[in-house]
Amino acid sequence: MTWVKTSKKKFYLHDDESLLDGLLRTGHDIEYQCREGYCGSCRVRCITNSHPVEYPFPPLAMIEEDEILPCCCRVQGVIHINHEPIIT
């Protein structure tokens, strides 16, 4: 089971649920478009994580070392993210 902590709440992901879908299900306001790692509009900052964040395929969107793409990343264990929009 994967637990997600944000400034808004703590929740778990359902089996085979993406981080993006979990955030949307729990009322977080997350920007997204492609859902496949191409656009990068869903990127959030990863504050801490108990397991490495993985991607089934390398995303094409440019992200910083402390950022993840909730639409296509795979998370396990416990992860703490800043879900507020990243301003560049």
Q: Could you report the per-residue pLDDT of 1-59, keeping only the tens digit for each?
A: 899 999 999 999 999 999 999 999 999 999 999 999 999 999 999 999 999 999 999 99
Q: Give the strands of the sheet with 2-5, arranged side by side.
A: 10-13, 2-5, 78-82, 44-49, 67-68
Contact 38, 72 (CB under 8 A): no
Q: Is the pTM of this model over 0.85?
A: yes
pLDDT over 90 at 84, yes or no: no
- CATH homologous superfamily of 1-88 equals Beta-grasp domain (3.10.20.30)
Q: Which residues have a Cβ under 8 Å from the Cβ of 61 and sit 6 or more positions away? A: 37, 38, 39, 40, 43, 69
- So where are the chain's domains? 1-88
Higher pLDDT, 87 or 47: 47
